[in-house]
Amino acid sequence: MKVAVVGATGMVGNIMLKVLAERQFPVTELIPVASEKSVGKEISWQGQNYRVHSLEEALAQKPDLALFSAGGSCSLEWAPKFAAVGTTVIDNSSAWRMKSGYKLIVPEINADQLTASDKIIANPNCSTIQMVLALNPLHQLYGLERVIVSTYQSITGTGVKAMQQLENEESGDKGELAYPYPIYRNCLPHCDDFTSTGYTKEEMKLVHETRKIIGDKSIGITATAVRVPVMGGHSESINVTFKKDFDMATVRKTLHESAGLVVQDNTDTHTYPMPKYAEGKDAVFVGRLRRDESFRNTLNMWVVSDNLRKGAATNTIQIAESLLEKGLL
């Protein structure tokens, strides 16, 4: 299994390499790929040093699998080139997610959609992944009617520059800014660029990607995405109205038995999900489960996950594992 990791020196790329090792993905030849400034440098993986390649060099080697985490413009240009030489591409950018004819996959939900003809497969947005993983099992029982979500998103979703800004502000040092305002001791209701409607692109990803993954365009979804000075992961307050009434005991049991989810919900012991404790883990944590008494068939929930792992790297590797299991790699 010849595997290229495009963006191997970046934040998500580093974690992809870590997850490949942790999950013992059958890599027989690793091809780390990065921007021109990193080509020729070496990275260490599984006790060996590997030279960082350019995209051209990696393409010439015709890998079986290419894991892309190098931004949308790179994916739009290079993913089709890799697919054309027979490589299966799993892309972590937003480039292919909403394009017709391309699958948007969360393995626990829709890995059964994967076929041999899927040579470019999209990995969903981090905030979408954790939300749909929590909602889909309940959708199967009660039918989603409307979702109101507010996100509290880690600065790691912006990248190294944002982490440096927070560290500089904490220590009182000056430095380059990732955000238009301070993030230390602050919250920014501004994730990604604003659109003409007043919503940000991040908020609209939650709308469109959720409908595509679950396979229901009729679900009403509205989102507010907020950046918070947190490292460990993304948190979401979700208010969901179902088409049918629900039973709280069944809700808890269903979530507890659903793959990829961990229920942390005991107010007596102050047990609830927190990003500090989700960091470095692959699960999506669900808690603060309670009926919304103000509206029919409506549930409140709090959902937390490490956005760099299940929200990006781990979900990517799980897609690759699904392809292997189906004999498509």
Q: Which domains does the chain have, with CATH numbers?
A: 2-124+312-325 (3.40.50.720), 127-307 (3.30.360.10)
pLDDT-derived band at 140 (thresholds 50, 70, 90) equals: very high
pLDDT by residue (tens digit) across 170-210? 999 999 999 999 999 999 999 999 999 999 999 999 999 99
Per the annotation, the verdict on 191 as an active-site residue is no
Position 254 scores a pLDDT of: 98
The β-bridge partners of 235 are: 152, 304
Position 156 scores a pLDDT of: 96
Can you tell me whether residue 308 is helix, strand or coil? coil
Active-site entry in 53, 139, 191, 234: 234
pLDDT by residue (tens digit) across 240-261? 999 999 999 999 999 999 999 9
The CA distance from 7 to 15, in Å, is 11
pLDDT-derived band at 72 (thresholds 50, 70, 90) equals: very high
Active-site entry in 126, 190, 208, 270: 126
Sheet holding 2-6, edge to edge: 29-33, 2-6, 65-68, 88-91, 120-122
Position 267 scores a pLDDT of: 95
For 199-207, the CB contacts below 8 A with 24+ separation are 199/223, 200/225, 201/94, 202/125, 202/127, 202/151, 202/153, 205/94, 205/97, 205/125, 205/127, 205/128, 206/125, 206/127, 206/128, 206/131, 206/149, 206/151
The residues near 96 (Cβ < 8 Å, ≥ 6 apart) are 75, 79, 102, 120, 121, 122
Position 229 scores a pLDDT of: 98
Per the annotation, the verdict on 187 as an active-site residue is no
Q: What is the mean pLDDT of the chain?
A: 97
